[in-house]
């Protein structure tokens, strides 16, 4: 499997997942400005969506969208317990993956876009903070998003919370989130993924 990534982008979540799953994979860095790979390939030819992550499977199939790639990686290593297998626990996991994707990750996106009017930044950050308050409330009662067990939803949440500092926000504003962030960051798979992407905290 080949994971196309940009250092520190949302592709860090599937990168962590592949390490947590103990799956063999290779990494291909995509340049944000040029959209070319390290081997000077046009990334749009690989993934017409133009953004990361993209996972190219052994049979050449292309898989995109963070929550979907995370579910695929979980399916590759069912014994690793990275997501609940079925029933209501599975639905809760999908609920958090979707919340992180649509309410947290995509609340960040316009804040990073150079074309976003400056006047949007303050209300945009306030909106993001309201969504993080939902997580804070939950993590006040639970060690992980799914309760007592780590899941790939935590890896995704960690990935997006790393961006708070870029938005004049600090994860320390949310004490339970900070505790969760530190917990996830200390996992060997997470430390290895951060180091491999050249991200020193």
Ligand X SMILES: N[C@@H](CCC(=O)N[C@@H](CS)C(=O)NCC(=O)O)C(=O)O
| Minimum CB distance to ligand X smaller for 50 or for 75 | 50
Q: Which is nearer to ligand X, 166 or 168 (CB)?
A: 166
Chain residue at closest Cβ approach to ligand X: 51
Distance CA 85, CA 93 (A): 10
CB of 41 to ligand X, least distance (A): 16
Region for 8 from its dihedrals, namely left if φ exceeds 0, alpha if ψ lies in -120 to 50, beta otherwise: left
Q: How far is the CB of 14 from ligand X (least distance, A)?
A: 9
Query: Do 104 and 132 touch, CB atoms closer than 8 A?
Result: yes
Closest distance between ligand X and the C-beta of residue 46, in Å?
13
Closest CA to 97 of 54, 19, 140, 156: 156
C-beta closer to ligand X: residue 51 or 181: 51
Residue placing its CB nearer to ligand X in the complex, 97 or 184: 97
Q: Quick one: 147 or 165, whose CB is closer to ligand X?
A: 165
- Minimum CB separation from ligand X for residue 8, in Å? 9
Residues that bind ligand X (CB under 6 A): 9-10, 50-53, 64-66, 101, 109
Phi, psi of 4 (to 5 degrees): -90, 130
CA distance readout (Å), 195 to 38, 130, 185, 200, 201: 18, 31, 11, 7, 9
CB of 78 to ligand X, least distance (A): 23
Tell me which residue has tokens 């340049």: 31
Structure tokens at 116: 């976003």
Q: Dmax over Cα atoms in the chain, in whole Å?
A: 48
């Amino acid at each position: 499997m080949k994971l196309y990534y940009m250092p520190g982008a949302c592709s860090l979540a599937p990168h962590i997942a592949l390490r947590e799953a103990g799956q063999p994979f290779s990494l291909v860095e995509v340049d944000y400005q040029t959209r070319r790979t390290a081997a000077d390939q046009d990334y749009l030819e690989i993934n017409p969506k133009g953004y990361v992550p993209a996972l190219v499977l052994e049979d050449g199939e292309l898989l995109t969208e963070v929550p979907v790639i995370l579910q695929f990686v979980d399916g590759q290593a069912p014994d690793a317990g990275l997501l609940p297998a079925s029933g209501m626990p599975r639905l809760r996991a999908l609920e958090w993956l979707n919340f992180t994707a649509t309410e947290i990750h995509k609340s960040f996106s316009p804040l990073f876009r150079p074309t976003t009017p400056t006047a949007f930044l303050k209300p945009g950050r306030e909106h993001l903070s309201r969504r993080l308050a939902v997580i804070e409330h939950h993590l006040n009662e639970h060690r992980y998003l799914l309760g007592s067990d780590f899941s790939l939803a935590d890896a995704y949440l960690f990935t997006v919370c790393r961006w708070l500092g870029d938005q004049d926000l600090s994860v320390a504003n949310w004490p339970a989130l900070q505790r969760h962030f530190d917990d996830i960051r200390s996992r060997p798979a997470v430390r290895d993924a951060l180091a491999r992407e050249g991200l020193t905290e």
